[in-house]
Amino acid sequence: MPSFKVKVKWGKEMFPDVEVNTDEDPLLFKAQLFALTGVQPNRQKVMVKGMTLKDTEWGTLPLKDGVMVLLMGSKEEDVPSEPAVKPVFMEDMNESELASAMDLPAGLTNLGNTCYLNATVQCLKTVPELRDGLQNFKANLGGGAFVPSLSITVALRDLYTMMDRGASFSPVVLLQVLRLAFPRFAEKGAGGVFMQQDANECWTELVRMLQQKLPAVPVEGASKQPKSLIEQYFGGRFDVEYKCDEAPEEAPARSEEDFLQLSCFISQDVRYMLSGLRSKLQEHITKNSPTLGRDAVYTKTSKISRLPAYLTVQFVRFYYKERESVNAKILKDVKFPMEFDAVELCTTELQEKLAPMRDRFKQLEDKKVEDQLNLKDKKAGDTKVKTTREPYWLENDLGSNNSGYYTLQAVLTHRGRSSSSGHYVGWVRQNDNTWLMCDDDKVTPVSGEDILKLSGGGDWHCAYVLLYGPRILEIPEGTTLAPPQAGRGEEKMETETSSNTQE
């Protein structure tokens, strides 16, 4: 075959009068194209009128002077390099790799009816101040006598450290020291199997043990220094008044009571959490009347005088049935809010202290509405604006709540008909609308809508213990609010707010 002069088209470039000698090997022509374009021969695809040139022979390629030769291929530097770490598909990942890829926390192995402990540990882990306090706790277990509070604090600290490494982990050490400290958690049923236990009892005992060992964060200028970190961040205070119903002339008696948990009592009329909390804060009791010289009925009224940063609410769902000798469960649907406003439950003095920060929250909400109406920033939802976080505690009272506003961050649920049977699960907030269902060693993302379905009303998981954290005031960069002023424009205390979702 003779030589031809052809036109070579490569992408947007055209090379005229390229000589082709069909008496030579096709690889020589490809080498010539490499010199023109920089495309390696092994990356070249050469075509003439739909026919492809092979490396070993010209075949019946329709070559002639002036014919268009199409070259396809990329230069070496234009081809993406192979990634240093090859991609791994989710279905090929093991449990540890999957948890890391999805930013999921570690699950906890069920060691035989120990879901009550696993759910409690997952919920408490959402409190960063508690995590910091445990990390700073430097004591270790020695060879001396068994000290329950020390052993449980060290075991929980070490468990959280191991959980931070990802994948499922066995809480065997914490379980052992818990059973040594509280033998009721080691009770066995038929066949020698460890019995299911009440998760709220486990929660209460763990917190009580931590209260004895974790020191409070010192606060300069505080009139009263808290005794422990638990009291500082989880502890609230009631102002209590006792008024005798049978002797109106008797002066009311007053006292203070500390609490680590609020109780939501569930009666026939209670449909919302706030209603259940109200019923506990005003109740009738019988005690000795110095005026009458005998037992009499008193109205006990409690108001919160100190709100903790982290508010624990227990739904009183279990009651003792004598006939069956079992703690039966109240399955009633009781709604709870994602955002809770506790101001109605507070004393007048505390409401006045909360007013300045509540006003700042209101100012920020008003500014957001105004910006939306004026369409000042149409791309606000597409870009992440830098914000400044303001302290959530009252001055000289670190660990308190300075607004009365709370955000739900963990839910402990029970599925079953009695506290000594069924199954417990922890549900923890990962971000604004993403939650994680911590079902022992299985951790699964769920939505905020799924959390609101945990209010009860059937055999599905029912909320048993709720953990609310402080709602943080985050001010966008460039936004200016009026400085806090006590009593400045405090809104009317409404019970039917959207945040509390009352009837």
Query: Running along the chain, 503 residues long, what does each successive block of 10 average in pLDDT?
Result: 84 88 83 82 87 86 89 73 63 56 81 96 98 93 82 95 86 94 92 92 97 92 85 97 95 96 92 93 93 95 97 90 73 95 97 96 90 64 76 94 98 88 94 91 94 89 96 90 62 44 47
DSSP conformation letters of 230-241: HHHHH-EEEEEE
First to last CA, the chain: 95
Q: Cβ distance 309 to 393 under 8 Å?
A: yes
- pTM of the entire structure? 0.77
Q: Token pair for residue 462?
A: 């029912």
Query: What's the CA gap between 396 and 183, in Å, rounded?
Result: 40
123 included as an active-site residue:
no
Query: What's the CA gap between 484 and 387, in Å, rounded?
Result: 18
Within a 10 A sphere around the Cβ of 178, how many other Cβ atoms? 24
Residues in Cβ contact with 55 at an 8 Å cutoff, skipping those fewer than 6 apart: 26, 27, 30, 41
| DSSP reduced 3-state for 256 | strand
Torsion of the alpha carbons at 111, 117, 122 and 125, rounded to the nearest 10: -120
Query: What's the CA gap between 356 and 404, in Å, rounded?
Result: 11
Query: What's the CA gap between 425 and 205, in Å, rounded?
Result: 18
| DSSP reduced 3-state for 420 | coil
423 included as an active-site residue:
yes
The pairing of beta strand 262-265 with beta strand 311-316: parallel
Query: What's the CA gap between 284 and 300, in Å, rounded?
Result: 6
- Which of the residues 264, 346, 423, 462 is marked catalytic? 423
Exposure b/e, 270-296, CB count within 10 A at least 16 = b = bbbbbbbbbbebeeeeeeebeeeeeeb
| Phi, psi for 252 (deg, rounded to 5) | -60, 140
Q: Token pair for residue 118?
A: 């696993």
Ramachandran bin of 355, using left for φ above 0, alpha for ψ from -120 to 50, beta for the remaining angles? alpha
| DSSP reduced 3-state for 149 | helix
Q: Token pair for residue 318?
A: 């279990």
Query: What's the CA gap between 249 and 3, in Å, rounded?
Result: 125
- Which of the residues 115, 264, 346, 438 is marked catalytic? 115
Ramachandran bin of 337, using left for φ above 0, alpha for ψ from -120 to 50, beta for the remaining angles? beta
Long-range contacts of 316-322 (CB under 8 A, 24+ apart): 316/263, 316/264, 316/265, 316/266, 316/276, 317/266, 317/414, 317/456, 317/462, 317/464, 318/198, 318/418, 318/419
Query: What's the CA gap between 150 and 146, in Å, rounded?
Result: 8
Within a 10 A sphere around the Cβ of 227, how many other Cβ atoms? 13
The pairing of beta strand 294-306 with beta strand 236-244: antiparallel
Q: Cβ distance 158 to 133 under 8 Å?
A: no
Q: Cβ distance 428 to 447 under 8 Å?
A: no
What is the residue type of 160? Answer: Y
Per this entry, what is the length of the chain? 503
